[in-house]
A and B are shown apart, each in its own frame.
Chain A
Amino acid sequence: MAEKDYKLSPRVDQVGIQDRVDRITKRSVKNEAKRKGLYMALNMIDLTTLEGADTDFKIKQLCYKAQHLHDSFPGLPTTAAVCVYPNFVKTAVQEVKGSGVKVASVATAFPSGQSSLEIKLLDTKIAVDNGAHEVDMVISRGKFHSGEYNFVHDEIAAIKEACGKARLKVILETGELGTFDKVRRASDIAMDAGADFIKTSTGKISPAATLPVTLVMLEAIKDYYYETGKMIGMKPAGGISNSKLALQYLLMVKETLGGKWLTNEWFRFGASSLANDVLMQIMKQESGNYQSKEYFSKD
């Protein structure tokens, strides 16, 4: 079989993408649908801290929050996972033990990815050996822009192998790719190379996740599913900090990929502050009033 030419990946038109996104953002999610959507969103969050200043204490706080979003209100789900740097994986794994909350670790010289494969593999191995359930890797954007698609593909495949049983999320860093065509191309490469999830952003580059970019990636996932029968997950990350936007993402998933993708097995939000806004909306649904932001823990 001839090698795949990723330059031939399907084209994407910006005007049409925006038209489709507009249809979704104009939908009105009310009452029970809103309540259910908010619960779903909470349960899809990868509660994230990726700071130079992170410490074990900070990670412990985050892990507690992931399992106890707002204990004064019973019946809330946990988040899907916590997302940390590799050196905090051990702490995190210990803290979330038995709760069902997963530990995701960024790896591969996050966020720039500017390092050798050896270091990236080692980075991944450390995370996995310490018990990470999921690995969030970054692609080599420089190589991608140079047109070295095979390099990018093989690198992802090598990391996938190093992941073992851990699920691999591949961060495309769409804010550095420049066009929707390139986002589509990078999505195709990542899925072919063995990604379990494709993810928009590191959160370190602006723009991070947007609805149009996510739609391009969801369409790629759909085409891949039709082609191979394999489901790939989607994770928009960065910049999703309010409930309304989160619900729009969920609607987009529902209308593009159907109800099967609407679980945290196949869809995640990478976010640090979304949870509190969703909590506030859930309380508002119950009581009819907005509560002060100070009622919700800021971790």
Chain B
Amino acid sequence: MKNKIDYSSDWNLDPAPESTGHIKLKNKYDLFIGGKWVKPKSGKYFATINPATEQKIADLAEAGQTDVDAAVKAAKKAYDTVWSKLSGKERGKYIYRIARLIQEKAREFSVIESLDSGKVIRESRDIDIPLAAAHFFYYAGWADKLEYAFPNRQPKSLGVAAQITPWNFPMLMIAWKIAPALAAGNTVVLKPAETTSLTALKLAEVIQEAGLPDGVVNIVTGYGKTGAMMVEHKDVAKVAFTGSTGVGKIIMKAIAGTNKKSTMELGGKAANIIFEDAPLDQAVEGIINGIYFNQGHVCCAGSRLFVQESVYEVVLRKLKDRMESLYVGNPMDKNTDIGAINSKKQLDVINNYIKIGKAEGAEIYQPKCKIPKKGFWCKPTLFTNVAQSNRIAQEEIFGPVLAIQTFRTVDEVITKANNTPYGLSAGVWTDKGSKIFNLTSQLKAGVVWANTYNKFDPTSPFGGYKESGHGREGGLHGLEPYLKFD
């Protein structure tokens, strides 16, 4: 290419770190059971670290069988004696109170979220925490309107919900789970992901402050083993899980033949489709938001990019240019676009896929950005010369790695987009309305964004087809999995 834009400049931004002095964290966290902090009977604790610095932040209790039993028992008791007897209006008041407290402490929540997960403060401050509060507000509103939500059907609560949340949007996913469960009249035992439990524990403090009756929400920390104990517990009526498809399958096997209801929010390998008549500069912004949002740790990430062949060169050029102005590094800096990879383990997974991509003959591109020495980092990465049969185009990488393919016709791209075991989300970029409707009706994905990507709202249901899971979270649809009907 004869002309190349040079993005280097002698005018560069100075660090703009968000202050962390105002947050209150304990050195050691116990389990939150029956409205109280209790020491784990297992006696075990594990460390949670800041993935950007590898420094320990706090020790967390590891819940064993006795602890899980105690948590479920507390939830069952709260359900039988208090929560199921309370009117929807009263439940709603508690949920509103939690929402308001999250809003009041939004800054503290977002700083803790970024320290614990490696996600950039811009996102935790502007997306994760405000959206989490919005979910509580939204479902608080449903609590006293359940009777009208499902015409000609009488909804009833289920009992104790076992909820297991992932590490990519720790606080937000907790809100997605707890808010509808409480609105529907259930009580909760929640296990946050082991690498990102701090906002859950902070939420436990908010729940205490809100005066929620003891045992309505119990939060136990630990690894997958702890989650398995919850899933298998006989007094659990409902299992809600967000995480990998692999673990989702294990859970579904475990509850097969029981009466437990389930919601599974699993993996994805979304197609983001750019037609030649799309607003290309904005499509490029959508590609960036689609794959590099939250370091690509997003189940609905637009990780498979399909570009119509006639605009392939220009889209690639624009994309590469845009990547030059992404800031990678300290998540606490307000200017950072891409933060730290959540854990060493996940970094290994991503690096392994990058290796696979190269071995498969795909061409790698990464911008010139520098990354810090300590901590877990991956430059924003894209692969060109990718085939539909490449593993990097088929398997969920869960990192900032984009696989780009070209297509020629609408039918071809629909076939390729649906040619995956997953079906969580997709994106379509075109200036033509009819094309959007054609694709949205043919793409087998729970969410399809048109001329935008990764937009979320509490009123909008979210969930997958095929191996991306079942059940919906958000919106009116998100209530149903927490209710039964006569």
10 contacts between A and B (CB under 8 A): A11-B279, A16-B279, A17-B282, A19-B452, A26-B334, A40-B11, A226-B317, A254-B9, A257-B5, A259-B6
A145 on interface, CB distance cutoff 8 Å: no
| A156 CA / B5 CA spacing, docked (Å) | 27
Q: Are B9 and A262 in contact (CB under 8 A)?
A: yes
Residues 223-265 of chain A: 1 if any B CB is under 8 Å from the residue's CB, otherwise 0? 0011001000000000000000000001000110111101000
The segment out of B12-20, B350-358, B414-422 that lies at the interface is B12-20
Q: Are B452 and A259 in contact (CB under 8 A)?
A: no
A53 to chain B, nearest CB (A): 38
Contact A26/B11 with A11-B277, A12-B281, A219-B281 known, Cβ cut-off 8 Å: no
Contacts of B281 in A (CB 8 A): 10, 12, 16-17, 20, 219
Binding site for A on B (CB under 8 A): 1-3, 5-16, 122, 126, 277-283, 285-286, 289, 317, 321, 325, 334-335, 337, 431, 451-452
- In the complex, the chain A residue whose C-beta lies closest to that of B278 is A11
| A74 CA / B268 CA spacing, docked (Å) | 60
B127 to chain A, nearest CB (A): 11
A143 on interface, CB distance cutoff 8 Å: no
- In the complex, the chain A residue whose C-beta lies closest to that of B16 is A28
- Report the contact-size class of chain A (Cβ under 8 Å from the partner): 35 or more
A36 on interface, CB distance cutoff 8 Å: yes
| A31 CA / B321 CA spacing, docked (Å) | 27
| A257 CA / B5 CA spacing, docked (Å) | 7
Contact A31/B14 with A10-B280, A16-B283, A20-B282 known, Cβ cut-off 8 Å: yes
A5-35 residues at the B interface, CB under 8 angstroms? 10-13, 15-17, 19-20, 23, 26-34
B240 to chain A, nearest CB (A): 31
Q: A32-B14, A258-B7 are in contact. List 11 more A-B contacts (CB 8 A).
A: A11-B279, A11-B431, A16-B286, A28-B13, A29-B16, A33-B13, A222-B321, A225-B5, A255-B7, A258-B8, A260-B5
- In the complex, the chain B residue whose C-beta lies closest to that of A259 is B9
Contacts of A225 in B (CB 8 A): 3, 5
| A266 CA / B209 CA spacing, docked (Å) | 57
B18 to chain A, nearest CB (A): 9
| A294 CA / B360 CA spacing, docked (Å) | 68
- In the complex, the chain B residue whose C-beta lies closest to that of A15 is B452
- Cβ contact of A258, chosen from B6, B279, B317, B337, cutoff 8 A: B6
Q: Are B334 and A16 in contact (CB under 8 A)?
A: no
Contacts of A131 in B (CB 8 A): none
| A229 CA / B277 CA spacing, docked (Å) | 25
Q: Are B282 and A27 in contact (CB under 8 A)?
A: no
Binding site for B on A (CB under 8 A): 10-13, 15-17, 19-20, 23, 26-34, 36-37, 40, 219, 222, 225-226, 229, 250, 254-255, 257-260, 262
Contacts of A29 in B (CB 8 A): 13-14, 16
Contacts of B3 in A (CB 8 A): 225-226, 229
- Cβ contact of B325, chosen from A12, A30, A37, A255, cutoff 8 A: A255
| A12 CA / B321 CA spacing, docked (Å) | 18
Contact A28/B282 with A33-B14, A222-B5, A226-B3 known, Cβ cut-off 8 Å: no
Contacts of A23 in B (CB 8 A): 337
B118 to chain A, nearest CB (A): 19
Q: Which of B1, B337, B431 has its CB near the most chain A CB atoms (within 10 A)?
A: B431
Q: Are B334 and A28 in contact (CB under 8 A)?
A: yes
Q: Are B451 and A16 in contact (CB under 8 A)?
A: yes
| A36 CA / B126 CA spacing, docked (Å) | 28
Q: Which of B2, B281, B325 has its CB near the most chain A CB atoms (within 10 A)?
A: B281
Q: Are B334 and A27 in contact (CB under 8 A)?
A: yes
- Cβ contact of B122, chosen from A13, A20, A26, A260, cutoff 8 A: A26
A78 to chain B, nearest CB (A): 19
Q: Are A13 and B279 in contact (CB under 8 A)?
A: yes
4 tightest A-B contacts by CB? Answer: A16-B282, A259-B9, A28-B16, A13-B279
B320 to chain A, nearest CB (A): 12
| A222 CA / B3 CA spacing, docked (Å) | 10
Q: Are B325 and A259 in contact (CB under 8 A)?
A: no
- Cβ contact of B2, chosen from A16, A37, A229, A262, cutoff 8 A: A229
- In the complex, the chain B residue whose C-beta lies closest to that of A230 is B3
Contacts of B12 in A (CB 8 A): 33
- In the complex, the chain B residue whose C-beta lies closest to that of A222 is B5
Q: Are B5 and A16 in contact (CB under 8 A)?
A: no
Q: Are A13 and B11 in contact (CB under 8 A)?
A: no
| A26 CA / B321 CA spacing, docked (Å) | 20
- Cβ contact of B6, chosen from A15, A32, A260, cutoff 8 A: A260
Contacts of A27 in B (CB 8 A): 13, 334-335
Q: Are B9 and A13 in contact (CB under 8 A)?
A: no
Contacts of A255 in B (CB 8 A): 7, 325
- Cβ contact of B5, chosen from A10, A13, A32, A258, cutoff 8 A: A258
Q: Are A30 and B16 in contact (CB under 8 A)?
A: yes
A86 to chain B, nearest CB (A): 35
Contact A262/B334 with A16-B451, A19-B289 known, Cβ cut-off 8 Å: no
- In the complex, the chain B residue whose C-beta lies closest to that of A215 is B281
| A225 CA / B279 CA spacing, docked (Å) | 19
| A37 CA / B337 CA spacing, docked (Å) | 21
Contacts of B2 in A (CB 8 A): 229
A76 to chain B, nearest CB (A): 17
Contacts of A16 in B (CB 8 A): 279, 281-283, 285-286, 451-452
Q: Are A259 and B279 in contact (CB under 8 A)?
A: no
Contacts of B451 in A (CB 8 A): 13, 15-16
Contacts of B317 in A (CB 8 A): 226
| A152 CA / B131 CA spacing, docked (Å) | 48
- In the complex, the chain A residue whose C-beta lies closest to that of B286 is A16
Contacts of B452 in A (CB 8 A): 15-16, 19
Contacts of B335 in A (CB 8 A): 27-28
Q: Are A10 and B11 in contact (CB under 8 A)?
A: no
| A17 CA / B279 CA spacing, docked (Å) | 10
Q: Are B16 and A15 in contact (CB under 8 A)?
A: no
| A29 CA / B452 CA spacing, docked (Å) | 28
Contacts of A33 in B (CB 8 A): 11-14
| A93 CA / B159 CA spacing, docked (Å) | 83
B434 to chain A, nearest CB (A): 15
| A222 CA / B314 CA spacing, docked (Å) | 12
Q: Are A259 and B14 in contact (CB under 8 A)?
A: no
- In the complex, the chain B residue whose C-beta lies closest to that of A260 is B6
| A9 CA / B321 CA spacing, docked (Å) | 20
A191 to chain B, nearest CB (A): 14
Contacts of A15 in B (CB 8 A): 282, 451-452
Contacts of B15 in A (CB 8 A): 30
| A20 CA / B3 CA spacing, docked (Å) | 24
| A17 CA / B451 CA spacing, docked (Å) | 11
